[in-house]
Structures are given as structure tokens and as C-alpha cells.
Amino acid sequence: MNIPIVLQTPVTFDRKDPALHREACAVVCKWLSDHDYNSTLLIFRDEINAHARDSHSIRKSSRSIVKSVEEGNWEAAYSALKKLESLNVPEHSLLLLQLAKQHFLELVDEGDAQRAFTFFLRRIKPLEDTIGKSAFQQLTYLLTCRSVADAAAAYPVFRGWTPSSSRASLTQWVASTFDTSHTTAYTIEHRLEHSHDVSFDRLIEQALYQTSGGHYRQIRVSTADLSANVPKRRRCSSGVPRVSRVDTLQQPSIVDSVGCFNV
């Protein structure tokens, strides 16, 4: 006897969910294996393992960056950032800019003008084109200030800035960008174990059944016109003089100029 399962919370489809990717790959591997596509299966499994290793390295490096920023260990953060660069991560340049900006602001806020100026020439100046003219002017102005709060009068964007709140915003951005909330990459091995209970043909059958249920035929039903044999009469509103039949034929509209209706 089949017992229906009632979900307490609605299921949200997330196409970026790693678990969904693994399940889809397992189904494809099972189908290739059942139909003796052995060469294709080996290539496909190698691609899966390569993507799994890259995802594992990206999340591991991003977690290391988050931890280093929280601790203020900038050298460790830049070291972890180099690993992302080797993996050709698209967000690498933007993350480098955010790290350099946070580090520079904290140096300015500490009142170490010499270190801030040296860091500006070494880290910020090469990123001038990436930062943009307006943001680069704001960072340049900070070189004349004793703290970040001193720049709030000229640039309100620095108003209320604190190292702790800025670090929290940066780590939150890194966590959301690189999706560090998923921990499955640290527990699974870099190989795919498919279940023999998965029936690819059964899944296709279910998909076809669900798809066919969404198709409807439009049936055109012909009905009799009840007003076909009803004689047309002419009514005029009270106080309006009648017009001739010729005038009515010349006025094809439903409401004529004297307030009469054709029924």
C-alpha cells in the first residue's frame, strides 16, 4: 500500500545545489553503464571528479580567506587568494580589490601613514582602472587623513565606518559569493557512487507523464444563436421625435444621433 508523504515545508528548486548536481550525474552514469557506453562513462566521470576537486579547492580557499579576514591575518588571506587565481575564478579580481581596500582602510585608521602610503602604491595603485575614478579619489584622499572618520566630512561614504563592521560585511560577501555554506564537498570523496536502485527509464516515464498532463486540447463547441429568429424592433426614448427608416439605414451604429437604439 502506498502511503502519501505530506511535506511540512515547500520544496525550493535550486539549480546550483551541489546535491542536485551529484544526483543528476549519478543518474547519467547509471544510464551510460546500463547501455555499455564505457568510454563515455570514463570521460564523464573524469570530468565530474575534476569539477569536484575544483569546487572543493575554491570553497576551501574562500573559507580560509574568511577566517584570515576575521583574524586580521592579511598575508594568509592573500596567500589563499593566489590559489583562487590559479583556478581561474571569475571573481578573483573583485575579491582582490575588496581585500586591498579593507586592508588599506585599517592601516589608515591605525594612523600609520607611512605603511598606508607604501601599501597604497603597492596594492591600490595597480588596481586604479578596476576601482574607478570616483572610488580611487576617495582612497587617495584618505592618505591626507589621520583616520577614516576624518574623511567622513568630505566623503559621507566613510561615515560610521568601523573595522569590525567592515570586516563582517566583507566576510559575508565572500561567503555568499563563493557559497561557503555548503560543507558537503569536505565530506564526500572525489568519486561518484551511483545507486543501482536508480532507474533512468522510470524517471523518463515519470517526466513524460507529468509533461503530458500539462497539455490540453481546445475543443470548440458550437451553440445555437437564440436571437437569430427574433424580429428586430425599433425603440425611441421619450421626448425624441421618430426618424424615417431611410435615416436609420444610413446610420449603421448601434446608437443613432437622436437617441434611438436598434434592437
169 and 185 together in one domain: no
Q: Nearest-CA neighbor of 62 among 171, 147, 140, 146?
A: 171
Residue that has been written with the C-alpha cell 565572500 in this structure: 174
DSSP assignment string, 96-142: HHHHHHHHHHHHHHTT-HHHHHHHIIIIIGGGHHHH-HHHHHHHHHG
Q: Is residue 9 included in any domain, yes or no?
A: no
The single-letter DSSP state of residue 215 is: -
62 and 186 together in one domain: yes
Which H or E element spans position 234?
strand 234-236
pLDDT of residue 209: 73
Q: Is residue 149 included in any domain, yes or no?
A: yes
87 and 185 together in one domain: yes
143 and 46 together in one domain: no
Q: Is residue 58 included in any domain, yes or no?
A: yes
pLDDT at 3 over 80: no
Q: CA 191, 195, 196 angle in degrees (round to 5)?
A: 130
Q: Is residue 238 included in any domain, yes or no?
A: no
pLDDT of residue 91: 83
26 and 156 together in one domain: no
57 and 182 together in one domain: yes
Q: What is the pLDDT of residues 158-189, one digit of tens each?
A: 999 999 999 999 999 998 888 655 444 443 44
Q: Is residue 244 included in any domain, yes or no?
A: no
Confidence of residue 236 (pLDDT cuts 50, 70, 90): low
Q: Is residue 8 included in any domain, yes or no?
A: no
pLDDT of residue 197: 55
Domain of 48? 15-91+178-198
134 and 191 together in one domain: no
pLDDT at 194 over 50: no
160 and 59 together in one domain: no
Q: What is the pLDDT of residues 27-79, one digit of tens each?
A: 888 888 888 999 999 999 999 898 888 888 888 899 999 999 999 999 999 99
81 and 139 together in one domain: no
